[in-house]
């Protein structure tokens, strides 16, 4: 009989490893789609320059959050593969040691409130000044209004780089986070979901107002004014759908994270389940990019032409 060495016990937690691998794959796909979307928004003239700037910054906020979650998944994979399985000790971990405990950092949550607010102001101004809005451009002011809100994000990045507060155990940080109430953990998500509903209703009302204006202007104004009103109708409809998307996913954050258990054993199980919460935003980012591409015909056609041009270039290169 041939003797074989006994199998050594493995420290690899296959379930956690698979979860982080899936999260990493979705984050990568979301990054690719949103980077392509950002390129298209920059290249395409589907929006007014002011709206274009706001949409670019909003997409960059999506990409920044994807990068944050990509780094977290990479850390989770490394901890799962190189170290012991994520066993959670029932003890409190200082927040300073848990740089990647939030599903979406607070500084980025502020951006998901600010950019829709700017868009509401911009579309309202466009609706009120439809006759001359195409020639009224002040991109520097809009750029500054968007850029100034990135300072908290940059500050957090600088602090992280200098302190290098990488958590030693991601699941232990989730256990510590569960000592807070559900509302304390999800305050920003509830705020974003609430404001997203308000903004979507506002854009729907603005769309209806522009539709009524289009009927009134049908025989009274030149084509350029009617064209601007029609553009306002389309962009308001698009913004309404986009904000409903924000509401849906950020409300899911709150619903999924509800935890009424207070015992240590239940809290440890909840800490493990909270890892699934980090799958929500990458899926939202994917849906966001696909909604953006399919809801705007001009952007969709630009995407098709770009991909066709890339395919033909690669095909010609292979034939050389």
53 within some domain: yes
> How many residues are present in the chain?
320
Q: What's the pLDDT at 266?
A: 62
Cα–Cα distance between 84 and 80 in angstroms, integer? Answer: 7
Q: How confident is residue 91, by pLDDT bands cut at 50, 70 and 90?
A: low
Cα–Cα distance between 25 and 16 in angstroms, integer? Answer: 14
Cα–Cα distance between 159 and 108 in angstroms, integer? Answer: 15
238 within some domain: yes
Cα–Cα distance between 273 and 125 in angstroms, integer? Answer: 45
Q: How confident is residue 149, by pLDDT bands cut at 50, 70 and 90?
A: very high
Is residue 85's pLDDT more than 50?
no
Cα–Cα distance between 214 and 192 in angstroms, integer? Answer: 32
Give residue-wise pLDDT tens across range 119-130: 999 999 988 887
The domain containing residue 215 runs over which residues?
A: 14-129+151-299
Q: Is 86 helix (H, G, I), strand (E, B) or coil?
A: coil
312 within some domain: no
Q: How confident is residue 8, by pLDDT bands cut at 50, 70 and 90?
A: very low
39 within some domain: yes
End-to-end, the C-alpha distance of the chain in Å comes to 60
CATH of residue 98's domain is 1.20.1070
Q: Which residue has the higher pLDDT, 222 or 227?
A: 227
> In the predicted model, what is the mean pLDDT of residues 23-29?
93
Q: Which of 111, 127, 118, 254 is nearest to 183 (CA)?
A: 254
142 within some domain: no
315 within some domain: no
Cα–Cα distance between 116 and 311 in angstroms, integer? Answer: 35
Q: Which of 61, 20, 53, 72 is nearest to 246 (CA)?
A: 61
Is residue 226's pLDDT more than 50?
yes
Q: What's the pLDDT at 7?
A: 42
7 within some domain: no
Q: Look at phi and psi of residue 6 and say left if phi exceeds 0, alpha if psi is from -120 to 50, else beta.
A: beta
Highest-scoring range by mean pLDDT, 17-31, 209-223, 296-310:
17-31
> In the predicted model, what is the mean pLDDT of residues 224-231?
78
79 within some domain: yes
> In the predicted model, what is the mean pLDDT of residues 293-312?
80
The tally of domains found in the chain comes to 1
Provide the percentage of residues in the chain whose pLDDT is more than 70. 80
């Amino acid at each position: 009989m041939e003797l074989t060495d006994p199998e050594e016990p493995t420290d690899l937690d296959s379930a956690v490893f698979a979860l982080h691998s899936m999260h990493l794959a979705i984050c990568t796909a979301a990054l690719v789609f949103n980077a392509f979307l950002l390129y298209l928004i920059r290249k395409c003239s589907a929006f007014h320059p002011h709206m274009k700037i706001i949409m670019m910054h909003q997409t960059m906020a999506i990409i920044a959050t994807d990068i944050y979650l990509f780094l977290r998944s990479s850390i989770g994979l490394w901890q799962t593969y190189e170290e012991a399985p994520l066993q959670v000790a029932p003890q409190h971990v200082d927040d300073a040691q848990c740089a990647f405990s939030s599903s979406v950092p607070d500084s980025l949550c502020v951006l998901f409130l600010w950019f829709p607010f700017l868009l509401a102001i911009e579309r309202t101004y466009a609706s009120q000044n439809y006759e001359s809005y195409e020639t009224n451009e002040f991109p520097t002011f809009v750029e500054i209004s968007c850029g100034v809100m990135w300072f908290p994000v940059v500050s957090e990045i600088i602090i992280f780089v200098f302190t290098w507060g990488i958590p030693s155990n991601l699941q232990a940080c989730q256990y510590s986070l569960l000592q807070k109430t559900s509302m304390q953990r999800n305050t920003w998500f509830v705020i974003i979901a609430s404001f997203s509903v308000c903004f979507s209703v506002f854009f729907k009302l603005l769309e209806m107002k522009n539709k009524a204006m289009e009927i009134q202007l049908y025989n009274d104004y030149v084509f350029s004014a009617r064209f601007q009103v029609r553009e306002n109708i389309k962009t308001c409809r698009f913004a309404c759908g986009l904000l409903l998307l924000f509401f849906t996913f950020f409300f899911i954050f709150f619903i999924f994270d509800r935890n009424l258990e207070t015992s240590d054993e239940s809290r440890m199980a909840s800490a493990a389940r909270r890892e699934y919460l980090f799958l929500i935003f990458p899926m939202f980012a994917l849906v966001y990019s696909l909604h953006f591409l399919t809801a705007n015909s001009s952007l969709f056609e630009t995407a098709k032409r770009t991909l066709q041009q890339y395919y033909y270039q690669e095909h010609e290169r292979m034939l050389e």
